[in-house]
Structure 1
Amino acid sequence: MSLSLHELATNAVKHGALSSAAGQVEVIWSPPEVGGTLCLWWQESDGPAVPGEPEHSGFGTVLLRQVIEGQLGGTIDMHWDDPGLACLISLPDDTWQASGVSETAALRQSSAQPVPPSERTEASGQRVLVVEDEALTALALQSLLESAGYAVLGPVGRVEDALDLLRSGPPDAAVLDVNLFGATVDPVAFALEAMGVPFLFCTGYQGGGTAGAHHPKAPMLGKPVNANTLLAAVDNLIVRA
């Protein structure tokens, strides 16, 4: 949500209400009493005249939809009318909480070493499933793996979406976040083990939490993950498979 609000604010400063001295932005959020959908309303006013919806979606709009719809499973409705951009964001009850936030413990680091060039896998066409519920991290993982020649399945941020992808056939390897909107990634890890697919965990939890305990042979990478370390770990998974 911080990323989404940052994109909306940046757009308002560059093109919208906050590009003029008189412009204003009103932000209202309304969580239900117990569970349900959280709604956030963004309304700009007193800025430059609104010419209507842009003909092409910029990176910011694409990122907003990836975060809200692709990763959080919510909805985003944007309207470019007078008095200014209006945006309604709705989030399902499994993506937010009003209490019970706790800190995570320090994570033990993986000892994965780079694969020697002579042994490095030719990555072209090899498929890596990426399961990560944080949009920016997911996009970064996808970009990194694709730049190394891998074909990325996903990224997806929910257990059921990952299992749906696996029904189309086993990937060559997988990179798994441990916690997906409060749910453990265990069902995905067990499905991968049944298929004989190697995987690693990419997480901020000590020892990978329950997933690490249930799958002690899986490599564990601590967030934030160094790009070379991640590629070395994925290479090792495929070389040793």
Structure 2
Amino acid sequence: MILAAGRGQRMRPLTDVTPKPLLQVRGKALMQWPMEALARGGFHRLVVNTAWLGEQISDYFGHNPASNGHESLSNLSSLDLRYSHEGRDFGRALETAGGIVRALPLLDEVFWVLAGDVYAPDFAFTQAAVDRFAASGKLAHLWLVPNPPHNPRGDFGLSADGQALNQADEQYTFSTIALYRRALFEAPWCPIPAGNPHGVVAPLAPLLRAAMDAGQVSAELYTGPWTDVGTPERLAELNAT
């Protein structure tokens, strides 16, 4: 699942007319980078949630991007896209947990989630990672990154044996890239009914922190190129290098 529903307030005025995941980074739509990486890893069925200017995203990529009339999308011929239109259905974005629960009927028992506004061109999505996570019995596995200047205190700690921690002397930033098990978004961990029929807005962090306290979240450190493209300055810096 690629998260693409946010308003992108910090990217205004660019996002007044274009949803942030469609902003151009090095000649491609920002969210095309993770789409290509997922396809290289053999993951071909993608769910995209939308809200702000969401029709632009579904119009641009369609259900099979390579057949949607954009030459730059020709290397996405293997992808099958489905959309969860939160803006159309509820008039607002549902935040991360609310959006995942809404899309849960379209997702497998174990699934990837990542933000469509994060640039990590070298990240490898592998079946081996999915298999290890599925065998672990954990509810989530997170990829953490060294703290960027805009998040110097980090989000979560990482134990020597690969457990994600709520509190630690050294904390890292959550990359947004993760593997999840459906059970994290069902009772008793999540109170929202399956499919989120009422459009409940819910953040992800409380679910993750509760699962961490129960020892149900593993993590690892990713040190490859990674940028949260959250401001026009960060976008310009990427496009200048």
Shorter-normalised TM-score: what interval? Answer: under 0.3
Greater length-normalized contact order (CA 8 Å, ≥ 6 residues apart): 2
Q: Which has the larger radius of gyration?
A: 1
TM-score (norm 2): 0.25
TM-score (norm 1): 0.25
